[in-house]
Structure 1
């Protein structure tokens, strides 16, 4: 873990930061270029598929006989990204939990505003169960908006009487589309990639006139009771830091077993840069140990 690695990554991300005044198609292209810059590992196979009627990228790693399944939701503030672009990050969780990874290509706004993403996420989870995979063998995981979608999916599943997964893992979760977190201001200069202005510009695309404080849009405001163990990770150099902190607090207040893991000096979804940032790989290792224990002993604390 070196200062040089963090400084190099900060410089790279500031070059690719998303200004609020460019169009969505350009933002989509920039995100694809940023995420495609890192080639997929040679031992990774990504296959297009579908589950519950929702397109997916199914990710397998050579040499791993999967015992479990990671259902993964990509980030992109609900308007950008796709399942295949997050294949490597999804696979990193699978490597550490002896799991296959299924990355979900949920519909994006503004072409498909809320509740399209929420409906697709629940359909994919329901489809996984209909394949005969036991809830105790499933982890839901996601980054940024995908992290918010993880929480919304579990709340939605609980409210529909659907059995919940063994655990969930969210990286830099975007769970408050009202942008009320204090770090929207206090971390604005430290964050090399995101800004409140850029986030605000995309919120109407997704909400399409709905109240951004609705629990399935901003699950920080949802009733979190009854959810499975939750692992939350974030970096100290991101405007969404307070989303992670407040989510952990609300989950704990609802008697959810929660681990909050903040890494200093690193940016939004720093785990995605595990190949060039030691902190990313180390955080994934920590999450993997927790998730593996929950998968083996559902509902128990990791030891």
Structure 2
């Protein structure tokens, strides 16, 4: 049988990350991650500094989407996620703003959270209408986006009109049974690696149950409407299910879409037809809310 797009992707992931081991430097992993996630694509970004943080815009429109990139709080950048930002901007007809927050272990929690809130606060201060503003992120970036909502609410800042979470990693306690049931199907987020990222991010003695580190543990009442997209083969599928349960219990309007056979943050891989479909659905959601 001919290779499927997923077969080709899994082979590409193995070629890029399969040799990583104890001797692999963090710089090498960061470079490999950027190459894998960007797929060699480059987005046309308009760089500037916002709230003291290096940032970049893509797309055009009245609405604004603040995007938090993934990478386990240790990897990822505007380079790795610029193409996804551009895809979302085109699908939604909005401007997308991404930013390079400080990474662990050089800068542990709450450095990334502080940077995200600084950018959000600066957006509002520049005159961005929160009714035309949404926030989104993938993997750790989704956790950062959700945590930013909690911090913004605690400061009394206006909240955006909507939130979108792609393959969200929002539970640093790693309680989901999907870490075991999907272990053989998701090459990017094995439980041992996830727990190692938790230690690197929080540092020795850090509390993975802290609601501002694991925002699914926070009080979600009053947060904006949420859309969650996740793959059925993801080890972090349980995070999405827990977020859905707790958001609904808090009275938040939330929709969860589980994509059959998809792996972690599949939207960054344009060779997958499901990636385009997911981005199209997310774009339609954002058009209705802020477009």
Query: Could you say which residue in structure 1 is the equivalent of 2:193?
Result: 198
The match for 1:13 is 13
Question: Structure 1 residue 20: deviation in Å?
Answer: 6.1
**Runs of 4 or more off by more than 4 Å in structure 1?**
none
Residue correspondence of structure 1 range 67-78 to structure 2 within 5 A:
67-78=62-73
Other-structure match for 2:101: 106
CA distance in 1, matches of 2:164, 2:9: 23
Moved more, 243-252 or 7-16: 7-16
User: 2:4 is matched with which residue?
Assistant: 4
Whether the 8 Å CA contact 1:70–1:90 is kept in 2: the answer is: no
Higher mean C-alpha displacement, 212-221 vs 2-11: 2-11
Work out which of the residue numbers 222, 226, 231 in structure 2 matches 1:230: 226
Say if 2:64 and 2:290, in contact at 8 Å, map to a contact too: no
SS of corresponding position for 1:142: strand
5+ long unaligned stretches in structure 2: none
TM-score (normalizing by structure 2): 0.94
**Does 2:151 correspond to 1:156?**
yes
Which residue, out of 23, 26, 30, partners 1:24? 26
Q: Secondary structure at the match of 1:16?
A: helix
Partner of 1:256: 252
Query: Is the CA contact (8 Å cut-off) linking 1:10 and 1:267 kept in structure 2?
Result: no
Confirm whether residue 34 of structure 1 aligns to residue 48 of structure 2: no
- Summarize deviations over 1:196-254 as a string: whole Å, max 9, x none: 11112222221023201101111111111100001111111111111111111111111
Q: For 1:36 and 1:163, how far apart are their aligned partners in 2?
A: 33
How is 1:160-171 mapped onto 2 (pairs within 5 angstroms)?
A: 160-171=155-166
Q: For 2:123 and 2:79, locate their aligned partners in 1 and report how far apart those are by CA, in whole Å.
A: 18
Give ranges in structure 1 of 5+ residues lacking alignment: 297-303
Report the TM-score, using the length of structure 1 for normalisation. 0.90
Deviation at 1:289? 1.2
Please report the RMSD computed on the Cα atoms of aligned residues, expressed in angstroms: 1.7
Name the count of aligned residue pairs.
287
